[in-house]
Structure 1
Amino acid sequence: MRSKPSILLNQRKYALELISDTGLSGAKLVSTPLEANVKLTTIEYDKLTGTTNDPVYKDVTAYQRMVGRLLYLTITRPDISFAVQVLSQFMQRPKLSHWETALRLVRYIKNCHGQGILLSSTKSLELEAFCDSDWAACPNTRRFVTGYMVKLEDSLISWKSKKQHTVSRSSAEAEYRSMAGAVADSVFTFTV
């Protein structure tokens, strides 16, 4: 969609096809991509903790296809980046809870299928970056998850959500690493 002051990039048609293909056209809407305080775990973690009420999801290919389609949708949907990053960690051995979380994400997309990125046509070059981290967020590895977004005036130009490779010793260290990633991306994005 285009207007004089801006352009809206979205994948509305793709989102509607995803909703239809998953059979959720008549499903109830949800207002958030993930349930609050949900920690998805691996099969190995469940064995160590003695959890047995979450069976393995049998159709691994369907799960992988679903996450791949959601990953493609993140091109214009930064609001689902974190949820897709979480789901993508379980591509080899998904559980039923992972599949149900993916379906919840599709129900969220159904609630706002036309959402996208607004690119403003203002001539200002003010660059802003926002970042955050969740220390020891992953119950499986105790690694922290970081996320950031970079805006050029009113236009979102870069975003990322990622589980880090290292374990931070403190929440302050995790925050500094998050800031370093956002700054590095901001400088790279703006100079290219």
Structure 2
Amino acid sequence: MGNDKAAIDNFKDYLHATFHIKDLGAPKYFIGIEIARSDQGISLSQRKFVLEFISEVGLSGCRPTMIPIEQNIKLTTAEYDRGISQNDDPILKDPSGYQRLVGKLIYLTTTRPDISYAVHTLSQFMHSPKRSHLEAALKVVKYLKKCLRLGILWSKQCDMKMRAYCGADYATCPTSRRSVTGYCIKLGDSLLSWKTKKHLTVSLSSAEAEYRAMAKTTCQVVWIRGLLKDLRIQV
């Protein structure tokens, strides 16, 4: 990327002399991500990927759901439930199907921050998933069917002000009692970065959990400001 077209063209010629490349112009579709340009800006979505995904898991005729994950749901590992009857929630004999399902959901978070928390929760059970984990993952797919066209818009209009939002869910993990941080960072009206992550240590109070969330968000803000500075963009 750059603002010197002559330098960009020279670099393309150098690459073409070294490797056989083809300039396809402005991108419209790239590894499952649809890219559309308009007067409002650039929008990214994975609608086609979602449709193929829903068809692959056999939920094309299912009833959509309004939310990706139930509020206050407590998914636990098999080790946590040891000693409890496993008849109601058995471990899946073949975890590969669950792993492929969650792997695709992880890729969808590239343009779908609304499922980040749900995917973060489900990805913790990749090695020994249970039936309840699979049912929760399929609920996310049903939610995706409800809102196929959602994506990200990078607005053409920007006031060059960076805004960050963060929060913490105190002691949300039933097995480790660790809290979860969620944050998103915007430049103007355009979403730049978002994440949901479990804390590495146990917080002794909700205030401590909130401060950890703020610290994590601040680190990301500092990194983005440094990147923009290298690109000679002042915020």
- TM-score (normalised: structure 1): 0.96
Choose the corresponding residue for 2:97, options 52, 62, 77. 62
Q: Which runs of 5+ in 2 are unaligned?
A: 1-35, 228-235
Q: CA deviation at 1:51?
A: 5.1
Q: Which has the larger radius of gyration?
A: 2
Which moved further from structure 2: 39-48 or 88-97? 39-48
Q: CA deviation at 1:135?
A: 0.9
Q: Runs ≥4 in structure 1, deviation > 4 angstroms? A: none
Q: Is 2:221 the counterpart of 1:182?
A: no
Q: Is 2:134 the counterpart of 1:99?
A: yes
Corresponding residue for residue 32 of structure 2 = none
Could you give the per-residue CA deviations for residues 83-120 of structure 1, whole angstroms, max 9, x where no partner exists?
Answer: 00000000000000000001000000111111111111
Identity of aligned residues (%): 53
Corresponding residue for residue 145 of structure 2 = 110
Correspondences of 1:2-41 after superposition (within 5 Å): 2-41=37-76
SS at match of 1:32: coil
Q: CA deviation at 1:5?
A: 2.0
SS at match of 2:173: coil
Q: Is 2:194 the counterpart of 1:159?
A: yes
Could you give the per-residue CA deviations for residues 6-62 of structure 1, whole angstroms, max 9, x where no partner exists?
Answer: 2210111101111010000000000101012211011111125x3532111122001
SS at match of 1:180: helix
> Which one scores higher on RCO, CA 8 angstroms, separation ≥ 6?
1
The size of the alignment, in residue pairs, is 191
Rounded to whole Å, the distance in 1 between the matches of 2:158 and 2:92 is: 50
Closer, same or farther in 2 for the Cα pair 1:190/1:172, shift >3 Å? same
